[in-house]
A = this chain, B = another copy of it.
Amino acid sequence: MKIIADAMGGDNAPLEIIKGSLDAKNEYGVDITLVGDEGVIKACAADNDLDLTGVEIVNATQVIATDEEANSVLKKKPDSSMSVAFRLLSEGKGDAFVSAGNSGALCVGGTLITKRIKGIKRPGFAPILPHFKGGCFMLLDAGANLEAKPEMLLQYAMMGSAYMEKVMRVSNPRVGLANVGTEKHKGTDLQHKTFELLEKADINFIGNVEGRDLPNGECDVVVCDGFTGNLILKTYEGTAKAIMFKLKELFGKNFKSKLAAGLVMSDLKNMIKEFDYHEYGGAPIMGTAKPVFKAHGSSKAKTFKNAIRLTKEYVEADVIGEISKAVK
Q: Which residues of A come within 8 Å of B, CB atoms?
A: 67, 69, 131-132, 143, 146-147, 178, 180, 183, 185, 187-188, 210-216, 224, 226-228, 230-243, 245-247, 250-251, 253, 256-257, 259-264, 267-268, 271, 275
A224 contacts which chain B residues (CB < 8 A)? Answer: 231
A132 contacts which chain B residues (CB < 8 A)? Answer: 242-243, 245-246
B211–A233 contact, CB under 8 A? yes
B235–A188 contact, CB under 8 A? no
A235–B227 contact, CB under 8 A? no
B250–A264 contact, CB under 8 A? yes
In the complex, what's the smallest C-beta–C-beta distance from A92 to chain B, in angstroms? Answer: 34
Give Cα A290–Cα B185 distance, bound, in whole angstroms.
Answer: 30
**Which partner residue on chain B sits nearest A265 by CB separation?**
B260
* Contact A234 B211, CB 8 Å, known A146-B187, A188-B227, A268-B250: yes
* Contact A146 B180, CB 8 Å, known A185-B69, A241-B212: yes
Give Cα A227–Cα B245 distance, bound, in whole angstroms.
Answer: 29
In the complex, what's the smallest C-beta–C-beta distance from A273 to chain B, in angstroms? Answer: 12
A256–B264 contact, CB under 8 A? yes
A250 contacts which chain B residues (CB < 8 A)? Answer: 264, 267-268, 271
